[in-house]
Amino acid sequence: MKIAILALQGAFAEHEQMFRNLGAETTLIRNLADWRNFMSSPSGGMRGGTIPGGESTAMMRIMRDEGLFEPIRRAILDGLPAFGTCAGLIMLDRNHLNVMDIKARRNAYGRQLGSFNTEGDFVGIGQVPMTFIRAPYIEEAGPEVEILARVDGKAVAARQKNMLVTAFHPELTDDTSVHELFLGMVTKCHVPV
Ligand code: GLN
């Protein structure tokens, strides 16, 4: 199983560590050559990609500068399992990569609640610790989107086909359950991409 982690900026190292601890092979993607190597390397069809937290405006700009925007968008639309956390959630929404039928509200918790920890119920998992850092929430979701968790009534985790997003940072806790859920999606998808 091979997991590519977009490493243009932000919290990619924590995802790398988490996936390695779970026994997945990881590749950091910094440019188009990294991406092409990842997509052409044998994986037995078990491949997935992660977009970490960070700053979505910067990530978006670097992604375009590196020529990564279209190839990554195409791969996800073709079925590559994709996992986005925080800024990664924003990147998958209608206004960015436009692969997932969600609209993210950026920096949605205001100054007072810029960063906080809580715990919440996650569909199919149970209680998970949730670390929010200047996080978005999902303010609109289309009919194909399944909301997996809410905090104060706001959607903070969701799934649509091959895509999984969380507004919080599971990679910053020692709870591996959300990463395991994603690896389960990668195993089931088996897309020959
Ligand atoms: N506030 C950031 C953004 O809008 C996201 C914060 C994060 O990823 N921790 O892109």
Work out the pLDDT band at 180, boundaries 50, 70, 90: very high
Task: Check if 96 is active-site.
Answer: no
d(CA 189, CA 183): 10
Task: Check if 189 is active-site.
Answer: no
pTM of the entire predicted model = 0.96
Cα(86) to centroid(ligand 1), Å:
6
- Which CATH code fits 2-189? 3.40.50.880
pLDDT given for residue 193 in this prediction: 47
pLDDT given for residue 104 in this prediction: 98
Contacts of 70 (CB under 8 A, 6+ apart): none
Closest to 160 (Cα-Cα) out of 176, 143, 177? 143
Q: Where are the alpha helices (DSSP H) in 66-161?
A: 69-77, 87-92
Work out the pLDDT band at 191, boundaries 50, 70, 90: low
Cα(12) to centroid(ligand 1), Å:
13
Cα(133) to centroid(ligand 1), Å:
7
Report pLDDT digits (tens) over 100-149.
Answer: 999 999 999 866 668 999 999 999 999 999 999 999 999 999 999 999 99
Q: Which of 66, 86, 96, 179 is catalytic?
A: 86
Ligand 1 atom with the smallest distance to the CA of 10 is: 8
pLDDT given for residue 42 in this prediction: 84
Locate 44 and state its tokens.
């037995």
Task: Check if 86 is active-site.
Answer: yes
Ligand 1 atom with the smallest distance to the CA of 55 is: 10
- For the ranges 8-17, 153-162, 163-172, 183-192, which has the lowest average pLDDT? 183-192
pLDDT above 90 (res 33):
yes
d(CA 163, CA 157): 11
Ligand 1 lining (C-beta closer than 6 Å): 53-56, 86-87, 90, 106-107, 133-135
d(CA 29, CA 12): 10
3-state secondary structure of 150: strand
Domain edges within the chain: 2-189
Report pLDDT digits (tens) over 37-89.
Answer: 999 998 777 999 999 999 999 999 999 999 999 999 999 999 999 999 999 99
